[in-house]
Amino acid sequence: MTGLNPKPMTPLRKRFIDDLRLRNYAPRTIVVYVAGVCRLAAYFNRSPDQLDAEDIRRFQLHLIEQKTSWCVFNQTVCALHFLYSKTLRQPDMVSRILFAKKPKKLPVVLSPEEVMRLLNTPKRVRDRTLLDVCYTCGLRVSELVGLQVADIDSARMVLRIWGKGQKERLVPISPRLLTVLRDYWRTCRSKTWLFPGSIDPAKRLTENTVRQLCEQSAERAGLNKRVTPHTLRHCFATHLLEAGVDLLTVQALLGHGHLRTTAIYLHVSLRHLQKAPQLLEGLVFGSAAPQTPRADDAARPARPVREGRP
């Protein structure tokens, strides 16, 4: 397991991949985990089974010095945890491989008007439909490109989604979106993938193609925000909360395993944020707030004040 080059396949790497497959890890996750372990092996130019906890510590400090993103850093830690606990059977190593603290950043959210500008920008029917489905159903990019024609249940008005960890969920679709999907299907007549690849229709569209489409559409729409497919998922959740949908329903539609993951959208929902100052003023200043004079008060003569009486 030395180096990032996938060849030759060492016995340790093969066993590591087999262990991940046995536990039904997604293909993308396997690729990411293998890349993380290979970074460790390449740094020391030794196999991971020849390293100790101090070596892992030095490698983690190296990642920090290289300004590795939090996401890549913790993905690498997850990969090492799996390697040493499951494949190498060294559980004592796991407790000494530390995670990095996650930065608390709020997601970028577009207004409904900005979303409409973005969705109407692409000229190709496929691209407009793709962005429409991504936003209207709140899908991850992997879920979007993994959609098949058979996943559309027009009788029940739902899409069957295979999410992270091979978790299946149903997402409702509106009559408008069903019409959009039918019009799109008449133009492509795809038999398997809902969004097949441009070069090879037998393969699905790549995630990078969708990311590039989002970036290009945002630039053409004149949006000054960084827009990714996940931005549309953030918009979906936030706009639902602003429309009055409860948090548990949003959690189910997004396919989140924990409610605290969904709760972050409460911090970007204008409907919830704008209520706060009104509730505060009603509580503190409600009884002392100046009342708006009625129209007939101006025409009513003032009562004379008698001397000696209030």
104 is catalytic: no
For residues 147 and 141, what is the distance between their CA atoms, to the nearest angstrom? 10
Which of 81, 211, 256, 272 is labelled catalytic? 256
Cβ(180)–Cβ(98) below 8 Å: no
Tell me which residue of 183, 177, 141 sits closest to 159, measured CA to CA. Answer: 177
Among 39, 126, 204, 233, the one annotated catalytic:
233
- Cross-strand pairs, 148: 193
Determine whether 156 is an active site residue: no
CB atoms within 10 A of CB 7: 6
Selected catalytic residue, list 33, 84, 184, 265: 265
272 part of the active site: no
Q: Which residues contact 35 (CB under 8 A, 6 or more apart)?
A: 4
Beta bridge partners of 153: 158
Token representation of residue 123: 């000229």
How many other CB atoms are there within 10 angstroms of residue 120's CB atom?
13
Catalytic choice (160, 164, 169, 272): 164
Q: Contact 134/144 with Cβ under 8 angstroms?
A: yes
- In whole angstroms, give the CA distance from residue 231 to residue 256: 16
User: How many angstroms separate the CA atoms of 102 and 291, rounded?
Assistant: 48
The number of residues in the chain equals: 310
Which is the catalytic residue, given 46, 117, 230, 272?
Answer: 230
CA distance 136 to 172: 9
Exactly one of 39, 140, 204, 234 is catalytic; which is it? 140
Query: Mutual orientation of helices 207-220 and 229-242 as an angle, nearest 10°?
Result: 70
Q: Is position 230 annotated as part of the catalytic site?
A: yes
Query: Phi then psi for 164, rounded to 5 degrees?
Result: -65, 140
What type of residue is 93? M
Asked if 25 contacts 33 with a C-beta cutoff of 8 angstroms, the reply is: yes
Known catalytic residues are 140, 164, 230, 233, 256, 265
